[in-house]
């Protein structure tokens, strides 16, 4: 698994919070803690260039873009609200004890099952 990158320790991100993590290859990621489960997406909004990690988690599992209020479903990356029409890239998250990793070579399970 060449795309595996360390994101953070479980205690570094409280429930209901999102944080930007830059992967070693420079890829900007947004990491989310939703009810104790971790998710990772690309950090850049597909509408323009906003950083989604500066947005707000709403309705349980949606991220609202801080610039034009577009919204994405975090587990699947699906674009939900205008002006976002292009889905967000997601990454499979691996939880190993207190360490949280992403596999940059694989989409999240929710995105894969939506294909």
In the complex, the smallest distance separating the C-beta of residue 23 from ligand FES, rounded to whole angstroms, is 21
Instruction: Give the 3-state secondary structure of the chain.
Output: CCCEEEEEEHHHCCCCCEEEEECCCCCEEEEEEECCEEEEEECECCCCCCEHHHCEEECCCEEECCCCCCEEECCCCCEEECCCCCCCCEEEEEEECCEEEEECCCCCHHHHHHC
Q: Which is nearer to ligand FES, 84 or 100 (CB)?
A: 84
Q: Which stretch binds ligand FES (CB under 6 A): 11-19, 31-39, 60-68, 96-104?
A: 60-68
Among 42, 47, 73, 92, binds ligand FES (CB under 6 A): 47
In the complex, the smallest distance separating the C-beta of residue 96 from ligand FES, rounded to whole angstroms, is 32
The residues binding ligand FES (CB under 6 A) are: 45, 47-48, 50, 65, 67-68, 70, 83-84
């Amino acid at each position: 698994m060449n795309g595996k990158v360390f994101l953070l320790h479980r205690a570094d991100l409280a429930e209901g919070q999102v944080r930007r993590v830059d992967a070693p290859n420079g890829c900007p990621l947004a990491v989310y803690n939703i009810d104790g489960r971790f998710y990772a997406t690309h950090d850049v909004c597909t509408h323009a260039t906003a950083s989604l990690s500066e947005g707000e988690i709403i309705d349980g599992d949606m991220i609202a873009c801080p610039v034009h209020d577009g919204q994405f479903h975090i587990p699947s990356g699906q674009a939900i609200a205008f002006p976002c029409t292009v889905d967000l890239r997601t990454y499979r998250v691996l939880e190993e004890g207190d360490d949280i990793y992403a596999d940059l070579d694989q989409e999240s399970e929710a995105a894969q099952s939506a294909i």
